[in-house]
Amino acid sequence: MGWVSPLRMDSARRLVLAALGLVGVALATVATLRAGEPNQSPWRVLGLTGLMWLGFAVSCVLVQRVPPRTAVPLVLAGGIALQALAASVPPRTTDDFYRYAWDGRVQAAGIDPYRYPPTAPELAGLRDGWLFPAGVPLLNHPTEPTIYPPAAQAYFRTVDELAPAGARHKPWQVAAAVLAVATTAALAAFLWRRGGDPRRAVLWAWCPTVILEAGNNGHVDVLAALLVTAGLGTLAATDGRGREAPAVAGAVLGGALLGAATAVKLLPALVLAALTPRRYLPALASAAGVVCLLYLPHLLAVGTDVVGFLPGYLAEQGYNGSGRFALLRLVLPRPLAPYAAAVVLAAVAATVWRRPDPIRPWRGPLLLTGTAFLVLTPSYPWYALLLVALVALDGRWEWLAVAAGGYVAYFAGPLGITHVTMQAIGYGLALAVVATPLLRQLVDGYRRSASVRRS
């Protein structure tokens, strides 16, 4: 047997350990997907979901010990395999894809998706046994017009056109899985070109949120995450690293991508809100222009009905103060929580504006978006796909605790515990994780100051 260098043996050993970590995440994924819906066995599903997160954390540590040129192919291959596993099982914890399919079908028939609710008699000819078995609609809010913005509607129309007849839920899973893998590739390529650590792409590719909410549940939020990744990457790539502002052409393109992301799901508006107007004015103007252009055809077709079910959804979800804001409600009267949340977010945005990071334009958006999750405490974990993408760009892994906290809140109903209680538990633990590095910095700073005074 020939001689093998100890360094090469060590690298091979680390690669094997990282691959075993991937296998562990895959096994936990299979077990979670086979455990059924949360309503059937909530404690078991919650425990297995936690196991996925634990395996993910260990795997990320192992991947960071593998040389980048070896780790990146493993991360990409693992991302593909995990998405394939997720897409092999029908969606378990959502019915959103029914609405995606319906909106795509309505547009294919030449009807504006904001004009009628699904139960309108004008759309009776579009109903079939899949979406309306025995005449009963499976899609959510069937008596209300759609809530999804125009870029999402364009995506729904595209998938509907490409889907084979009778494919049902599978095209939505496959499309989301492809977008998730594309985001992994975009993250790795961008980080490599910018001299960052491309292994950080694992924070997205193997994350349980991405596995469950893209490949399995097929949520459109993954498209917004891809567009935000591309938009912020474009801004960073064209920034002068100290010049007054990014190149105008790059800023316009980056802003257009961020505007398109906001027209998929409104949550990426937080990314735009975190960009300093003085530095990113062309990007912000481009984003606003894209959003307006995407809404314009629908506005001309249906007028103010283009807002769809959005106002009703916000009230239904408790963003008017009747729900959500679980952490703020621990210290404030419930009616004051929305106002306190607005103050907190405005303060964070102002802080980000005063200290922009031209080399890492995603750092401010990560802070503002993560803070928004902590003050709003949403119950739907797929919203955090945007947050996970920002974490992968920046490497601040502690913010992934916020994405994990969303799953704790999601199990409130199946476990028979109030949503506010579960939100407070999940996001409270996440807040503790996020605050730990900051507290450590403050303690270290105090110790250094005390050491200087003594000397």
What tens digit of pLDDT does each residue of 368-402 get?
999 999 999 998 999 999 999 999 999 999 999 99
Of 26-30, 224-228, 405-409, 446-450, give the lowest mean pLDDT range: 446-450
Asked, for residue 210, whether it belongs to a domain, the answer is no
Looking at the predicted structure, is the pLDDT value of residue 240 above 70?
Answer: no
Average confidence (pLDDT) over 52-75? 96
What tens digit of pLDDT does each residue of 112-145 get?
999 999 999 999 999 999 999 999 999 999 999 9
Instruction: Tell me what pLDDT residue 2 has.
Output: 43
What tens digit of pLDDT does each residue of 82-109 get?
999 999 999 999 999 999 999 999 999 9
Looking at the predicted structure, is the pLDDT value of residue 229 above 90?
Answer: yes
pTM, full prediction: 0.94
Looking at the predicted structure, is the pLDDT value of residue 439 above 50?
Answer: yes
Looking at the predicted structure, is the pLDDT value of residue 242 above 60?
Answer: no
What tens digit of pLDDT does each residue of 314-330 get?
888 888 777 789 999 99
Of 4-8, 229-233, 412-416, 421-425, give the lowest mean pLDDT range: 4-8
Confidence label for 1 from pLDDT (cuts 50, 70 and 90):
very low
Instruction: Tell me what pLDDT residue 323 has.
Output: 75
Average confidence (pLDDT) over 37-57? 93
d(CA 130, CA 100): 13
Higher pLDDT, 358 or 176: 176
Asked, for residue 365, whether it belongs to a domain, the answer is yes
What tens digit of pLDDT does each residue of 151-174 get?
999 999 999 999 999 999 999 999
Instruction: Tell me what pLDDT residue 3 has.
Output: 46
Confidence label for 38 from pLDDT (cuts 50, 70 and 90):
confident
Instruction: Tell me what pLDDT residue 416 has.
Output: 87
Asked, for residue 366, whether it belongs to a domain, the answer is yes
Asked, for residue 422, whether it belongs to a domain, the answer is yes
Question: Above pLDDT 90, what percent of the chain?
Answer: 79
Instruction: Tell me what pLDDT residue 4 has.
Output: 44
The residue range of the domain holding 319 is: 312-455
Averaged pLDDT score across all residues of the chain:
92
Asked, for residue 321, whether it belongs to a domain, the answer is yes
Asked, for residue 212, whether it belongs to a domain, the answer is no
Asked, for residue 185, whether it belongs to a domain, the answer is no
Average confidence (pLDDT) over 250-279? 96
Domain count, the chain: 1
Asked, for residue 445, whether it belongs to a domain, the answer is yes
What tens digit of pLDDT does each residue of 196-225 get?
999 999 999 999 999 999 999 999 999 999
